[in-house]
Structure 1
Amino acid sequence: MAAPEVLGLSKPFVDPADAKVDIVFVHGLNGGRESTWTHEPSHVFWPKDLLPKACPEARILAFGYSSGWVRFFGSVGTQGISQTTIGDHSAALLGDLAKLRDRTESNEQPLIFVAHSLGGLVVANALSSPHGDNIGAQSVVKATRGVLFFGTPFEGSNKARWGGIVETFLKVFTETNPKNIETLKEHSDSLVAINHNFAKFLMSRAKSQKEHSVEVANFFEELSLKIGRKSVGRIVTQDSATIVGVDPIGIEADHISMCKFEDEERRGYVRASEQLQGWIKRLPPEPKQEKRKLIAKSFRYFKGTSLTVKSTTTVAL
């Protein structure tokens, strides 16, 4: 019997008192909130077991959602129309994060997403969709400073290539009949729209005078995936993982194992953790941090002197 899916935003795996950034992990099709990032047989769950040492100032969480193909691409109704639920997952991701950050008074804390496979499209859609007067969602998007993608396809506006991506994922990771696959391929417009809107979002943030740009790193698998004894090839190639203006980075692993690391010495982990470290290092200080530094500086300056208050009371520092 398969383990039940764990949905929603996890409790922080680490939650340092001096956290200056949130790092949120989002799995892909048929993945899990922890299983996607856990190396077997060592059981190393690197967001909790490895990453805190590399990023000690990060609050680290993971988001889970129903990721079976029907719940991801949508069901095929009587009219043969695929009703995608990527938008539902994106909205839930933003909603859960907004509630946590509001509850912990950390709405302005910078945010970085780490996403595997089609989970990257859930994140891309969340960031680039219009949010109307949803202040919570807007605050999460505004706070986002980076997205690290593991094996997420970006096929531009080529609907045929997106159809090929859908077919590949469904054939490899699900057991659905060819008729349904062909129907779903015909309705890949939503994936084209997500790709287009995300590219516009990145460009808009890069040009904005009021909001920070969003940095992106794209990792692609260098090894073919094997199902049993059969090799099914690379699921997301270097070309497919490319966003204009961002050079993709190879990881010597297949599509499933590319985001599972046994220890800190693994090349993929080194590359991913160094990318995150670089982004965090470049984050501007938060207003609260600046205020604390100013108070501390003032305290050091006045220490050993005295202040006269209302000319009658002396306060020693």
Structure 2
Amino acid sequence: MLPAVAPNARIMRYGYQSQWFGNEAMQQSASTVAERLLRALKRKRKDVSFRPLLFVAHCFGGLVVLKALLEAEQYPGEWPGVFSSTTGLVFFGTPFRGAGGMDQMEMLEAARREYDNDQVQPTALEVLQPGNAYLQEVVGGFLKKMRGQTNKTQIACFYELKASDVGQIVGGQSRTASRFLVSESSGCLDLSSKYSLSRTHFNMNKFGKATEEDFETVAEVVEGMVNKSPNLVWVRSQCNYASQQ
């Protein structure tokens, strides 16, 4: 449905293997996925490095985007145009301050009821714990960069209004009541616009038709970002040119 919202945009989906449990479990980190994302973007944008760029991310994917942008800002020669051309960020249930409704020990116990020990990758859950040092470093570093921007990137954060069955994470059934995985306070950045969606954490980025109220809310946000993006990139380029004179 996004092509109807942004008809002149090239829309690309970046997927990565995020299986933390089972036969296909992988040792995956935000840094590893962020670098792979940057390499993929570099290939796809080699002829249009400074075209406006919007990211739409769900849950852990939002942390990947933050890490990728920090890397792109620090090494602009390696990742040309990625940071300076990013004009919009849309986050769905990204646990910027941890997933309070997903206790790591509870998840590991649930996973070990479903899988053998060698089919569980516990390190993948660590970054989602409230107070995790790496999580604080990435989010804190990103906010510092955003506050220093003259022509700021547009940021929108969506948070869930319905509780989720935590057991879905490991493919089984939770033995406790459903809960909110990412709260409003954790899922929203200080510099962002905030929007609620009447959905669970697992389906807040999935829509069946364009007339759903929640999708109309998201579409309005994305459309606004798209419309402002060309001018935002132009103004940034003029500021960069002036600073070099």
Name the counterpart of 2:14. 63
SS of 1:248's partner is strand
- Between 1 and 2, higher relative CO (CA 8 Å, sep ≥ 6) is seen in 2
Contact 1:116–1:150, Cα closer than 8 Å, also in 2: yes
Q: Does 1:135 align with 2:77?
A: yes
Q: Choose 1 or 2 for highest CA Rg.
A: 1
Q: Does 1:270 align with 2:216?
A: yes
TM-score of the superposition, structure 2-length normalised?
0.75
Q: How many residues align?
A: 213
Write the letter of the residue equivalent to 2:225: W
Shift of the alpha carbon at 1:174? Answer: 7.0
Write the letter of the residue equivalent to 1:215: Q
Write the letter of the residue equivalent to 1:148: V
Name the counterpart of 1:150. 92
From 147, 163, 167, the equivalent of 2:103 is: 167
Shift of the alpha carbon at 1:186? Answer: 10
Distance 1:225 1:186 in 2: 18
The within-5 A match list for 1:50-199 is: 50-69=1-20, 85-102=29-46, 105-129=47-71, 133=75, 135-155=77-97, 162=98, 164=100, 167=103, 171=107, 175-176=111-112, 180=122, 184=126, 188-199=132-143
Name the counterpart of 1:23. none
Distance 1:54 1:163 in 2: 31
Distance 2:212 2:109 in 1: 26
The within-5 A match list for 1:24-63 is: 50-63=1-14
Shift of the alpha carbon at 1:172? Answer: 8.8
Name the counterpart of 1:44. none
SS of 2:45's partner is helix
Contact 2:99–2:182, Cα closer than 8 Å, also in 1: no
Name the counterpart of 2:242. none
Name the counterpart of 1:219. 158
Change (3 A) 1:150 1:94: same
Contiguous gaps of at least 5 residues in structure 1: 1-49, 76-83, 156-161, 288-317
Change (3 A) 1:276 1:186: closer
Distance 2:73 2:188 in 1: 27
Distance 1:233 1:218 in 2: 20
Distance 2:69 2:109 in 1: 26
More helix by share: 2
Shift of the alpha carbon at 1:242? Answer: 2.1
Shift of the alpha carbon at 1:68? Answer: 2.4
Distance 1:150 1:68 in 2: 19
Distance 1:169 1:56 in 2: 45
The within-5 A match list for 1:227-306 is: 227=167, 228=173, 231-284=177-230
Write the letter of the residue equivalent to 2:132: S
Contiguous gaps of at least 5 residues in structure 2: 168-172, 235-245
Change (3 A) 1:173 1:196: farther
Write the letter of the residue equivalent to 1:53: A
Change (3 A) 1:132 1:142: same
SS of 1:69's partner is coil
Contact 1:108–1:143, Cα closer than 8 Å, also in 2: yes
TM-score of the superposition, structure 1-length normalised?
0.59
SS of 2:140's partner is helix
Q: Deviations over 1:78-99 (max 9, x none)?
A: xxxxxx7211111111111011
Q: Deviations over 1:252-273 (max 9, x none)?
A: 0000111110101112211111
